[in-house]
Structure 1
Amino acid sequence: MTCAVSNVICSIIFGERFDYNDPVFKNLVRIMDENTKLLGSHKVMLYNFFPRIATLLGAHRQTVQNYDELIEYILKRIKHQRQVFDTNAISGFIDAYLLKQEQESAKTEKIFDDENLVCSILDLFEAGTETTSTTLRWSMLLMMKYPEIQTKVQEEIRTQIKQGQLPTVDDRRNMPYTEAVIHEIQRFVNLLPLNVSHKTSNDVYFRGYCIPKGTDVIPFLTSVLYDKTQWETPYEFNPNHFLDEGRKFVKRDAFMPFSAGKRMCVGESLARTELFLFFTGLLQSFTFYPPPGVSREDINLRSDIGFLSFPLPHLLCAKLNY
């Protein structure tokens, strides 16, 4: 699952897909997977509060080493793309960025510099790889837990998408129940409980308190995604949270798994598109159910908390629908 999702990101960024057995691609996936786990480890969390102990923490050193390796590869790809760059053959995000650089080359203040390009690519990798693949693993677990919801999604798929055709982004507007289920999966699993820390650029006064410039601010998304004043049944998996009385999809203001404001996740649009296409494609082709001897009541929805909320390991069965 992670490889499939990561390859989508690579095709968007680099303009080409990798073979799953390509050693470079396998190393990219390894780095993203390893760093996600390391960032959620207690040692790295300890470093976030006490940076001076960095030299004592092997996990922190490994995280930095992985990022350095990833950045080195990205810089090599940027250099290569610049050498073969053709304004008439824009094939990926890097090419589009280089075109923008060329267009603003006469300006004295440049926003589209290489540093921002590297940071944007890192954001896309992080937002569109491990987070998306983990959400999809949760989706299969939840469909196994709630077969009646899985059946409704599959009925909508059969109604809106012809057999033999793959789902497209345009299908989303005609599939309100599927959209509601995907949004409820994101709300319910609370994938990034503490989101990503930010820093105040100026002194901020909030409810009588002064938050000094340069203060690290950690948004606690759980408080919003499980707010009893915003959700009818916050602790239940309930797609009706995103459906109005006419069974049309409604996006709620309290739905913010990608954070909010100007510094929200840059990869939101990409991640939402990936989730729809992968989730719909999976349920179009397969029906997920528990292995023999396991009832739906036995399926544990507790998460393994780290940087991300990972589902606990489960066995599942998948039956081809046709």
Structure 2
Amino acid sequence: MDPLGLTTTALLAGVLFLIFLSLWNQRFTRRNLPPGPTPLPLIGNILQVDLKNIAASLSQLAKKYGSIYTIYLGTQRVVVLHGYNILKKTLMDQGDGFMDRGFLPIFEDTFKGQGITFSRGEKWKQNRRFSLMTLRNFGMGKRSIEERVQEEAKCLVEELRKTKGQPTDPTFILACAPCNVICSVLFHDRFKYNDEKFLYLMNLLNENFRLLNSPWIQEKGNPQSKFDLENLTMTGANLFFAGTETTSSTLRYGLLLILQHPEIQAKIHEEIDHVIGHNRVPSIKDRQDMPYTDAVVHEVQRFIDLLPLNVAHAVTRDIQLQQYVLPKGTTIFPLLSPVLWDSKEFPNPDLFDPQHFLDKNGKFKKSDYFIPFSIGKRSCLGEGLARMELFLFFATILQNFTLKSVGNPNEIKNKRGGVTNLPPWYQICFLPR
């Protein structure tokens, strides 16, 4: 081709690209959507999101665009909600309009819209009603479930004693305890920690959680039912997934933080000795007399910010929000990090400090900003169980052991930035008290 022909072709290509870019931008600016950075064709705003620290990069965008703004992950529109006030206004005050589950490929490929965590519409409503009814029938919210947690806590202590105070990676043992609680609820039985089926289940749960954190019968005769064997199986899997890895990761992270703050461990030991002693197992009623330990458990959950992005929501219909209109199906990121790390509610939020949950008289202080389980109609189904487990497991471990670090615990760097904030690997010595 002669030079003139090449020049003409290049100019034509340039003009076509500019027309395409103009049409693309018009497509995303003519709607009455919240503001946000202009997306590039096909890739959207991916280049403006740090995949190694997603929550931090979304908070940076909030400084420019405000508490509600729009970004595009590829061609998918996402509205980000940043801060307690906007989360309350949407997930609580307009909860029915924000209770669908957002569409994200990693979750769709894994869960296929089944189960209780990632289902939508009528299927989700039926799943939630079934799960709540079943869990209550199996003891959730009753004295029997506390007794199961206490029994598992004693088994956990016996397993920790077998380490004989030697350096131990606590990952596996701390995961077994909450998993066995779920087993006792669903199967009315627990497993020994070396049971082959139990080990296989633990490996599956651990692999699912690891993949999540990488850069991205019943009623055949009822035509209205959304329940089938696959859906029931996935609901059970959701309970294991949410009830095991999140609690065990919080325990593991919490023990590391206590290692890094020996003065906190000393105060917990003092409170345990005063309230419980060494001759009986801790119970949930002890929590009201142990404000410091309760504050530490809350501060662990606040500080580690386990699910910084929350789980994506979606709007169920066209919704007016402030001066904007969110079209039906829009994916919503109701971020938890900005609430849990709000500097006005929690001064110096980047410091691990139980005083965030204590008043000037040393009494436990509640906070509306404490929402590690999210808020609204899609908040965590197992919040009550998880909070019971965390208090009883922490209290029982520290009643029976002094935690000793291997090396300098402050050299262990906390990892942040993915879909989940997983604790780093470390070893610990459990010295009998």
TM-score range, shorter chain: 0.7 to 0.9
- Quote how far apart the aligned CAs of 1:124 are: 2.3
Give the corresponding residue for 1:68: none
SS for the counterpart of 1:218 is strand
CA-to-aligned-CA distance 1:178-222 (integer Å, 9 cap, x gap): 110000000001011112112211122223222211122122111
After superposition, the Cα gap between the structure-2 partners of 1:249 and 1:110, relative to the gap in structure 1 and judged at 3 Å, is farther
After superposition, the Cα gap between the structure-2 partners of 1:296 and 1:37, relative to the gap in structure 1 and judged at 3 Å, is closer
Give the corresponding residue for 1:312: 424
Normalising by structure 1, we get a TM-score of: 0.74
Give the corresponding residue for 1:17: 190
Give the corresponding residue for 2:266: 151
**Structure 1 segment 20-99 matched on structure 2, within 5 A:** 20-42=193-215, 45=216
Give the corresponding residue for 2:411: 298
Q: Is the 8 A contact 1:39 1:306 kept in 2?
A: no
Q: Is the 8 A contact 2:412 2:424 kept in 1?
A: no
Return the letter of the residue paired with 2:337.
T
Counterpart-to-counterpart distance in 1, 2:296 and 2:405: 20
Counterpart-to-counterpart distance in 2, 1:117 and 1:167: 35
Asked if residue 133 in structure 1 is aligned to residue 245 in structure 2, the reply is no
Instruction: Give the number of the structure whose alpha-carbon radius of gyration is greater.
Output: 2
Return the letter of the residue paired with 1:235.
D
- Quote how far apart the aligned CAs of 1:123 are: 3.3
- Quote how far apart the aligned CAs of 1:28 are: 1.5
- Quote how far apart the aligned CAs of 1:8 are: 1.1
RMSD: 2.4
SS for the counterpart of 1:191 is coil
Q: Is the 8 A contact 2:306 2:422 kept in 1?
A: yes
Structure 1 residue corresponding to 2:360, chosen from 240, 245, 249 = 245
Q: Is the 8 A contact 1:132 1:275 kept in 2?
A: yes
Structure 2 residue corresponding to 1:3, chosen from 166, 176, 191 = 176
Counterpart-to-counterpart distance in 1, 2:370 and 2:223: 40
Give the corresponding residue for 1:233: 348
After superposition, the Cα gap between the structure-2 partners of 1:304 and 1:225, relative to the gap in structure 1 and judged at 3 Å, is closer
Structure 2 residue corresponding to 1:263, chosen from 361, 378, 389 = 378
- Quote how far apart the aligned CAs of 1:271 are: 0.7
- Quote how far apart the aligned CAs of 1:30 are: 1.3
Give the corresponding residue for 1:201: 316
SS for the counterpart of 2:403 is strand
| Runs of 4 or more consecutive aligned structure 1 residues displaced over 6 Å after TM superposition | 107-116
> Which deviates further from its counterpart, 156-165 or 263-272?
156-165
Return the letter of the residue paired with 2:179.
S
- Quote how far apart the aligned CAs of 1:40 are: 1.4
Asked if residue 214 in structure 1 is aligned to residue 329 in structure 2, the reply is yes
Return the letter of the residue paired with 2:275.
Q
Consecutive unaligned residues of structure 2, counting only runs of 5 or more, are 1-173
Alignment coverage as a number of residue pairs:
258
Consecutive unaligned residues of structure 1, counting only runs of 5 or more, are 46-74, 80-100, 102-106
**Structure 1 segment 280-295 matched on structure 2, within 5 A:** 280-291=395-406, 294-295=407-408
- Quote how far apart the aligned CAs of 1:143 are: 0.8
- Quote how far apart the aligned CAs of 1:231 are: 1.1
CA-to-aligned-CA distance 1:220-240 (integer Å, 9 cap, x gap): 111111111221221111111
Structure 1 residue corresponding to 2:303, chosen from 162, 166, 188 = 188
Return the letter of the residue paired with 2:192.
D
Counterpart-to-counterpart distance in 2, 1:35 and 1:297: 29
Bigger RCO of structures 1 and 2 (CA < 8 A, at least 6 apart)? 2
Counterpart-to-counterpart distance in 2, 1:313 and 1:108: 49
Normalising by structure 2, we get a TM-score of: 0.56
CA-to-aligned-CA distance 1:271-313 (integer Å, 9 cap, x gap): 111111111111111111222xx3354343x215433211222
Counterpart-to-counterpart distance in 2, 1:153 and 1:112: 46
SS for the counterpart of 2:395 is helix
Q: Is the 8 A contact 1:304 1:312 kept in 2?
A: no
Counterpart-to-counterpart distance in 2, 1:180 and 1:149: 11
Counterpart-to-counterpart distance in 1, 2:213 and 2:332: 17
Q: Is the 8 A contact 1:6 1:128 kept in 2?
A: yes
Counterpart-to-counterpart distance in 2, 1:115 and 1:244: 49
SS for the counterpart of 1:310 is coil
- Quote how far apart the aligned CAs of 1:114 are: 6.7
- Quote how far apart the aligned CAs of 1:317 are: 2.4
Counterpart-to-counterpart distance in 2, 1:214 and 1:277: 41
After superposition, the Cα gap between the structure-2 partners of 1:267 and 1:238, relative to the gap in structure 1 and judged at 3 Å, is same
Counterpart-to-counterpart distance in 2, 1:3 and 1:305: 26
SS for the counterpart of 2:185 is helix
- Quote how far apart the aligned CAs of 1:251 are: 1.7
SS for the counterpart of 1:124 is helix
Counterpart-to-counterpart distance in 1, 2:192 and 2:264: 35
SS for the counterpart of 1:307 is coil
